Structure 1
């Protein structure tokens, strides 16, 4: 019988970033609800974010915000919005150059979680991956722009943050089996 491996908890808070990608929010025409929600959920998992950054659905703005977050030392970056298929949904294209290792299984789990609420969840093209191996590597998650999409993404990703960052830093884990 195999023991269940419990994801490790963060031993100390880590720096994070939340980037809301929305033309309407960036122009002040709509309230950003998904960014503050992501910030609150990340705090529950030991990730500190000062405030969400809001940028328009533009590849250059999104890339600039991602680079600024990495340069500031963020270890966890969550984007909200821009993961669909409209002409202005550019978040995956903007994020792709920052991902050194894709975590496609996690992206798929986020989509599957969203299916409980809506078949539209399968249209999300959000990426999940890490920027680099090592102590400076960051987990990058493209969450849908809805509050439900953020909830789904962080329900999947949140409990794994400590383990993912530990793995990036070279810590290994062992799952023991009663058969051994």
Structure 2
């Protein structure tokens, strides 16, 4: 399945990257993976904080089919991406972050990720991912399986036939 015709925004949330003190490593991984799936991808970099993250989410949701954030999902005092995201989600999709955390279960910090996923009132899919390069690679693999089907469903596509398994 592909994302041809889909508009996706990747938002990297990082004080250090926004200040030029560190290089964004997770955002480019996600951009590359989404472009490989055929999506039209835009990338944004913002500092941690509820206001800058929420403003970036609102702007991205106004022009995207899906928004993927990377960073700010941990437990430090500056990790507030879930808090910035939660008020925008009308339909929670907890299976996406659960699947991502399960895929990285071997990573000790994965259980500390508080990332959310869901649909806005305008039916834009938002997914929060942790900010490490490793988590971005895992998230990209999960999103490659989930996003084409999810965005197809949001456009009115029928469920593909599936065989019953015992």
Is this a same-fold pair by TM over 0.5? yes
Task: Verify: 1:43 aligned to 2:35, yes or no.
Answer: yes
Task: Verify: 1:119 aligned to 2:105, yes or no.
Answer: no
Task: Verify: 1:80 aligned to 2:70, yes or no.
Answer: yes
Change (3 A) 1:87 1:36: same
Task: Verify: 1:64 aligned to 2:31, yes or no.
Answer: no
2:3–2:39: 8 Å Cα contact kept in structure 1?
no
Change (3 A) 1:43 1:174: closer
Residues 5-48 of structure 1, C-alpha deviations (whole Å, 9 max, x = no match): xxxx2473311101110011111111111111110011122222
**Count of residue pairs brought into register by the alignment:** 165
2:26–2:136: 8 Å Cα contact kept in structure 1?
yes
Q: Pairwise CA RMSD of aligned residues?
A: 1.8
Residues 129-177 of structure 1, C-alpha deviations (whole Å, 9 max, x = no match): 1224xxx522211010001111111211222212101211232225355
Secondary structure at the aligned position of 2:69 is classed as strand
What residue in structure 2 maps to residue 154 of structure 1? 140
| Alpha-carbon shift at residue 103 of structure 1 (Å) | 1.1
Larger Rg: 1
Task: Verify: 1:17 aligned to 2:5, yes or no.
Answer: no
Residues 83-125 of structure 1, C-alpha deviations (whole Å, 9 max, x = no match): 0001000000001112121111111110011113x12100000
Partner Cα distance (2:134, 2:60) in 1: 24
Secondary structure at the aligned position of 1:49 is classed as strand
Partner Cα distance (1:89, 1:11) in 2: 30
TM-score scaled by length of structure 1: 0.85
| Alpha-carbon shift at residue 126 of structure 1 (Å) | 0.4
Partner Cα distance (2:27, 2:160) in 1: 36
Change (3 A) 1:66 1:175: same
TM-score scaled by length of structure 2: 0.91
